[in-house]
Amino acid sequence: MAIFSSAPPDVREVPHAVGESQTLAASMPRLILEARRVAATIIHGLHGRRRAGSGENFWQYRRFVMGEPAARVDWRRSARDDFLYVREQEWEAAHTVWIWPDRSPSMAFRSPLAEDSKLHRALVIAFALADILVHGGERVGVPGLTRATGARNAVETISQTMIHDPGKRTSLPVAFAPAPLAEFIMLSDLWSPFAEIKATIARLSAKGSLGHVVQIVDPAEETFPYAGRIEFVEPEGAGAITAGRAENWRADYQARVARHRAEIRAETERLGWSFIVHRTDRPATELLLKLHERLGSERGGVGHRTPAVMERQL
């Protein structure tokens, strides 16, 4: 017999939310320590990343973008071509990087093939990257949680805000569009329907910001190592399905995953964003290095995705 409660949904969710926040609070110190250990292996020997911004040193020419002030056009350079060009100086000011780790229920999954859950890995990478960036003079923030800051205690601020965050843990970032000169990093398992992912990336890139989409997956989600009668339960309320002989699903499952990723990759490439797949049985430093290398490296100009024209001043 089913028992129904007359309490409102938000009230019924309070005990669950309290338990979840306590678990997160207890794990935060360990996550921060691990993040700083990972970050420490990357910080030594790193140099500033060259990119466009306010400064005195010439860096590159890029194509003029409609809507920019005409005063920014370098007419001398433009006279030698069929296009209008803008002079860019080498970056010498704080850059804003928004980091969004997916904290939805599906991220809690961990199979016996991995030591950490997807959520654990996403938070460690988010904290480690934030630590590296603020040490390099950048500003970091988490959309919907914290403002962008360059303070050395940014990681502690972000973690404490997460612990006390009463909001719903969505699978994709909502109601946020970064500024044109900012960069956005999305850490998620990306198992949402492609149409939702496409719409999210379109909104995030609408103002011309650069972005990096990272799919964090458990190795079992790639290899599908299941056999026999298995019940698969969707952790975000979509129901359950039972396979009589799960091994017969493997080929179709892997083909569908490949198609899903191909669609995401094509969309990110079309917008000039990067796409990385990271498995939780791989070292966290591997992903951190890839992200640090790609930050700022793919911009061909504000709001413009064609390669920049690399020339020295004549």
Query: CATH: 3.30.70, 3.40.50, 2.60.40, 3.30.1370. Which one for 26-47+93-294?
Result: 3.40.50
pLDDT confidence of residue 26: 64
Provide the sign of the torsion angle of the four alpha carbons 49, 53, 58, 61, taken in this order: positive
Query: For the chain, what are the domain ranges?
Result: 26-47+93-294, 52-90
Q: What is the spatial distance between Cα 167 and Cα 153, in angstroms, rounded to a whole number? A: 23
Share of the chain above pLDDT 70, in %: 76
pLDDT confidence of residue 42: 61
Question: Whole-model pTM?
Answer: 0.71
Average pLDDT along the chain: 79
pLDDT confidence of residue 236: 75
Q: What is the spatial distance between Cα 57 and Cα 257, in angstroms, rounded to a whole number? A: 46
pLDDT confidence of residue 36: 78
Is residue 135's pLDDT more than 60?
yes
Q: In the numeric block, which tokens belong to residue 118?
A: 């997807």
Q: What is the spatial distance between Cα 169 and Cα 119, in angstroms, rounded to a whole number? A: 12
pLDDT confidence of residue 5: 34
Q: For the segment 112-128, what is each residue's pLDDT rounded down to a tens digit?
A: 999 889 999 999 999 99
Q: How far is CA 117 from the centre of its chain?
A: 17
More confident residue, 74 or 196: 196
Q: How far is CA 37 from the centre of its chain?
A: 20
Q: For the segment 94-116, what is each residue's pLDDT rounded down to a tens digit?
A: 589 999 999 999 999 999 999 88
In 16-48, which positions are buried (b, 16+ CB within 10 angstroms) versus exposed (e)? eeeebeeebeeebeebbebbbebbeebeeeeee
Q: For the segment 62-96, what is each residue's pLDDT rounded down to a tens digit?
A: 787 777 788 888 888 888 888 888 877 644 445 89
